[in-house]
Amino acid sequence: MIELTEQPIEVHSVLESVRSPAAGAVVLFLGTVREFTGAAQTQYLEYTAFADMAMAQLQQLEQEARALFPLVETCLVHRTGRLDLGEVSVAVGVSSAHRAAAFAAGQWIMDQLKQRVPIWKKEHYADGREEWQHPGMGDAGVISVESGP
């Protein structure tokens, strides 16, 4: 299952989509909205995506992961829209016969997703600042927007 959604991610559904009698290991990674980024206090995040391109990239990542790791099942779900503190922004589930491959694949998929998939987040801070970010772009991927009187 590969999905972009504005609805809360159903974690149990992600988990069940990768469980299989052929898999001795299931790894589920959840990215959640944290309260602090460094010293900056976050109020909420907004995620936006170029949906067609993001879906194509997510499908490509799944294909590459299956070529690199002996996976049984995979699931990639990313939220878009406004997310409050504690909400799940991304879920990556993988299963494999053994744990080493499942752990390695889950980390590889998440690392690649952050670098390659055209999904951006806008952090809204408690002090009124806003910042667009895309980790794959390094310093060029952070754009500060001052909100003031």
CA atoms within 13 A on the CB side of 68: 19
> Mean pLDDT of successive 10-residue segments in the chain (149 residues)?
97 98 98 95 96 97 98 98 98 98 98 96 96 71 51
Cβ-proximal residues to 94 (8 Å cutoff; 6+ apart), any chain: 18, 26, 27, 65, 69, 71, 73, 74, 75, 102, 105, 106, 109
Query: Both tokens of residue 26?
Result: 């299931």
Question: What pLDDT is stored for residue 141 in this prediction?
Answer: 54
Total of domains in the chain:
1
Tens digits of residue pLDDT in 119-140:
999 999 999 999 998 766 655 5
> Quick check: is 33 in a domain?
yes
> Quick check: is 114 in a domain?
yes
> Quick check: is 108 in a domain?
yes
Q: What is the value of pTM for the model shown? A: 0.89
Range of the domain at 70: 2-121
Read off the CATH number of the domain in which 23 is found.
3.90.1170.40
